[in-house]
Amino acid sequence: MFYREAGDFKTSYEQDSQTFPIKFDRFRYYAVLAIAFLVVPFVINDYWANAILLPFLIYAIAAIGLNILVGYAGQVSLGTGGFMAVGAYACYKFMTMMPEVSMFVHVLLAGGMTAIVCVVFGLPSLRIKGFYLAVATLAAQFFLVWLFNRVPWFYNYSASGQISAPERDVFGIMITGPNAPAWATYMFSLIFLTLCALVARNLTRGTIGRSWMAIRDMDIAAEIIGVNPLKAKLTAFAVSGFFIGISGALFFSVYLGAVEVGEAFGITKSFLVLFMVIIGGLGSIFGSFAGAAFLVLLPVVLKVVGVDVLGWPTDIVAHFQLVIVGALIIVFLIVEPHGLAQLWRVAKEKLRLWPFPH
Amino acid sequence: MPDQFLFATEVFINGLMAGVLYALVALGFVLIYKASGIFNYAQGVMALFAAMTLVGIMNGQVPFSHIINAVFGTEIHHFGWHVPAFLAIILTVGVMVGFAWLVQRLVMRHLVGQEPIILFMATIGLAYFLEGVSDLMWGSEIKKLDVGLPQGGSFWIEDMTAGLGSENFYGFFIDNLDMVATIVAALLVVGLVLFSQYTKQGRAMRAVADDHQAALSVGISLNFIWVLVWSVAGFVALVAGIMWGTKSGVQFSLSLIALKALPVLMLGGFTSIPGAIVGGLIIGVGEKMFEFWIGPLVGGATENWFAYVLALLFLVFRPQGLFGEKIIERV
């Protein structure tokens, strides 16, 4: 009743092939965009931006990127942390080498750089499959982190070995550095997330997305019906790398401001993003958002409940957090292995039939 | 003999020893993967948990004392007794069997027939969970583990080999513990092979590894076999935990040895016990030699990634690893 496709007539090809063909979806999408762009920037404060909104936006970009690789193209990758580090360091180098260029360009260039690196590490996927590939991508994770730790050129020979973002502005508004206002960093990340999600959604609906899915479902059969596995796999790595690079660049420049590579982009980051993708739902753009929101909010909620409400010591709460996150992941996988996106699909089905049960 | 050559030999031997320790961890992975197709990321944390439990039992620590103290305001930490190492090991094996049963009962049983990636993620969840539990149970500070294994360099070997080179060469430095580990690993492998060849349960285990449905149809209980396999993996984890714990203390980083074992698995093949051993030796020697020759040129600490890159290059030529089952793909 609330959600229906019936009566939504298309009279032209443009209407039929628009990003959200169903009217309800489209209006929901406009509503969410309107709130995100027109309401949130005016009510945002530093705590909300730094604890919840910025990590959510940035992880959502990374999750979309990884979802393209794992959920759509079926190539399991555990190298996300390393690729985010490439984005961060590329962004840093571009920022310091070309200070006069706009931040938008830096972030996009960082994404492009990561795409190239990702394709290089994606090459073995043509030979190696399944778990062997997953473990092979760990090579990227460890090698890249080591590289950024050991080669001083990457961190501009700074004494601490860290990189810290210089102050940069877009149209006169501070975006990076300690003096950037919360709404500006929020808007900057939001613009990238919106663009990435739009691009991802349209890529996955088109020829290239279908070739990814064909490769995922059965690569040999796909090859026989004429999908080029080389092209499909490497484009998946490239697009995924581009998004992950953007998120790494934002994570460093806008969110953290200064990073130490082993700490910020270690293997736990790879697992975290993979969890987001799996809990959100493999092969679903909405799922990437849901997974990112869930895993960003969970520790915040647990901390608030444990420390502020129950008044336990922080170290015990931190350990409990591990236990609860671990248990929740297992429960999730048992109850709903297709993730939050599947719950949303079920909800839509219910809304469509409401008030009838069947 | 030239000193450089002798140093290289020493590095080589130490690499072999380190490789044995990697192989010990890899063995636990292979067992579970063969029997249930689950790639058990939690193996490293299981080693940590086993080692912590062992230390906790030996020292008579009160489990969950932190929480009890925080909630009830009490100040209890120890029961006040010390358990001899041998008894503590047996008790820890009991705990690991109980853990295996719980995992099977609460987690894996509900995930039968899911895709491998889902199972893999479940074991990562398990790893987080177990890490949190072991910290809550026994506290997160670094502990010393001493079950009476010899430690430090072997003077006997040092004296014997000191005459080989010039006066700058003091003989091979080989850790006693590494030699013990090698012997234990050899015994463990022999024991596992005997177990899987000559006992009823071992044969049932191999049958399950071959074909789940066929095994089920001749009356083998899959549930029992999976509990058995997880228990054996828990035992292997305990052995690995004792060795690594004695070497570098029982602490969080112990769980990271799982990451050391992954390239070993790739190289040797996920399904082969000899593969785990040979892969471990190749990785151990390879990374030590690389660090010895190339490490100084590129800034050191190459051990973190070299094993992975080696395994990656290797896989490009042989996608199923050294001893893995040939991957046959059909449409």
User: For A66-73, what is the mean pLDDT?
Assistant: 92
Q: Is residue A182 part of a domain?
A: yes
Neighbouring CB atoms inside 10 A of B254's CB total 26
In which domain, by residue range, is B220 found?
Answer: 3-317
The pLDDT, as a whole number, for residue A231 is: 92
The pLDDT, as a whole number, for residue B171 is: 65
pLDDT digits (tens, 9 = 90+) for B18-74: 888 888 888 888 888 887 778 888 888 999 999 989 988 888 777 777 777 777 777
In which domain, by residue range, is A58 found?
Answer: 44-266
Percentage of residues in chain A having pLDDT higher than 70: 99
In the beta sheet, which residues pair with residue A99?
A: none
Q: Is residue A242 part of a domain?
A: yes
What region does B219 belong to: left with phi over 0, alpha with psi -120 to 50, or beta? Answer: left
Q: Is residue A355 part of a domain?
A: no
* Chain B contact present for A346, CB below 8 A: no
Closest partner CB to B125 (pick from A127, A139, A326): A326
Neighbouring CB atoms inside 10 A of A50's CB total 15
The three-state secondary structure class of A290 is helix
- Over 80: is that where the pLDDT of B153 sits? no
* Chain B contact present for A294, CB below 8 A: no
* Nearest residue of A to residue B299, measured between CA atoms: A150
Q: Is residue B328 part of a domain?
A: no
Q: Is residue B308 part of a domain?
A: yes
Question: How far is it, in rounded angstroms, from Cα B215 to Cα B174?
Answer: 46
User: For B209-234, what is the mean pLDDT?
Assistant: 87
- Confidence label for B169 from pLDDT (cuts 50, 70 and 90): low
Contact A139 B311 (CB under 8 A): yes
Most A-contacting residue of B308, B327, B329 (CB-CB within 10 A), to test interface: B308
Among A69-73, A111-115, A130-134, A220-224, which stretch is predicted with the lowest mean pLDDT? Answer: A130-134
Contact B304 A142 (CB under 8 A): yes
What CATH number is associated with residue B216? Answer: 1.10.3470
Q: How many domains does chain A have?
A: 1
Q: Is residue A66 part of a domain?
A: yes
- Confidence label for A250 from pLDDT (cuts 50, 70 and 90): very high
* Nearest residue of A to residue B67, measured between CA atoms: A316
* Chain A contact present for B136, CB below 8 A: yes
Q: How many domains does chain B have?
A: 1
What is the value of ipTM here, to two decimals? 0.81
Question: How far is it, in rounded angstroms, from Cα A143 to Cα A93?
Answer: 19
Chain A CB contacts of B118 below 8 Å: 278, 333, 337
User: For B100-106, what is the mean pLDDT?
Assistant: 90
* Chain B contact present for A224, CB below 8 A: yes
Q: Is residue B129 part of a domain?
A: yes
Q: Is residue A320 part of a domain?
A: no
Q: Is residue B195 part of a domain?
A: yes
Q: Is residue A311 part of a domain?
A: no
User: For B251-262, what is the mean pLDDT?
Assistant: 79
Q: Is residue B331 part of a domain?
A: no
Average pLDDT over all residues of chain A: 87
The pLDDT, as a whole number, for residue B329 is: 73
Q: Is residue B325 part of a domain?
A: no
DSSP class of A39: I
- Confidence label for B306 from pLDDT (cuts 50, 70 and 90): confident
The pLDDT, as a whole number, for residue A155 is: 86
Q: Is residue A49 part of a domain?
A: yes
Contact B129 A278 (CB under 8 A): no
Contact B309, A146 (CB under 8 A): no
The pLDDT, as a whole number, for residue A196 is: 94
Q: Is residue A142 part of a domain?
A: yes
Give residues with Cβ within 8 angstroms of B293, minimum separation 6: none
pLDDT digits (tens, 9 = 90+) for B50-59: 998 998 888 8
